[in-house]
Amino acid sequence: METADLKLASDDDVAAASWIKPRLSRAFGAVTRHVPQGYAAYVRICHPAENDAGQQVTWSTVAAATGRQAHPTMQWHALVGSPDSLDMIGSLWPGDNPRRGELDPPTLATLCGALAPHTATPETCYFSLWEGHGWLPDGIPARVHHDYRSYILFTGPLHAAQQLGFHPRPDWFIPQSPNLFWPADQAWCVATEIDFDSTLVGGTSELVHQLLSEPALDAWPVNPDDSLAADADLINLIG
């Protein structure tokens, strides 16, 4: 797991994660159950889907194809007309579903590029990885504990977010985006909950405006108390 840029957290580093838990809401499905309260603005980045030709597409493209409506708190299963939020039984979409629990590498790279100018500490960042990833080596302790998840903590510069992952063999690397990451100055925070097919970012209004303007990101403005639970899509109702 360790590289020249990414290392396991020390005791002092773990203390640097203590600010997050007190700022997490307990409201089920809420944006701020996953990314801390107190930021000026929040954005939801929907993970790309793929069409039947293997090309990445936005959720708006899918909504146009399925006769649904794209909106900030849309849910994928409702967008594709399935009553099943897990297995997508009866889906109207012929392509692949968005990834859950991780950003694909190009989207993560675009996000990190947009985040970098909005922190004074891009060389000192913290990356939390959910302890339940099956590929993690035995013996690495989870040292950051929230009410509903425990994480292994790493440190490094912002670009090291793209170094997390594993080697099934020496010539093959499978990346895994962080489940939670932030800079030392706490200027923003990014959360990719393992059960979600979207990523949440809290930060300044200027940062969120930039993310919403980035054509490579399928980004939507959300409020701290907005729900992203499976039943939150009240526009694309099923049945």
Per-residue pLDDT of the chain (239 residues; tens, 9 = 90+): 556 799 999 988 999 999 999 999 999 999 999 999 999 999 999 999 999 999 999 999 999 999 999 999 999 999 999 999 999 999 999 999 999 999 999 999 999 999 999 999 999 999 999 999 989 988 898 999 998 899 999 999 999 999 999 988 889 999 999 999 999 999 999 999 999 999 999 999 999 999 999 999 999 999 999 999 999 999 999 86
- Residue 111 burial by Cβ neighbours in a 10 Å radius (0-12, 13-18, 19+): buried
Domain boundaries, the chain: 7-46+99-222
In sequence order, which residues have a C-beta less than 8 Å from that of residue 192 and are 6 or more positions away? 101, 102, 103, 177, 178, 179, 180, 199, 200
Q: Which of 216, 195, 123, 211 is nearest to 161 (CA)?
A: 123
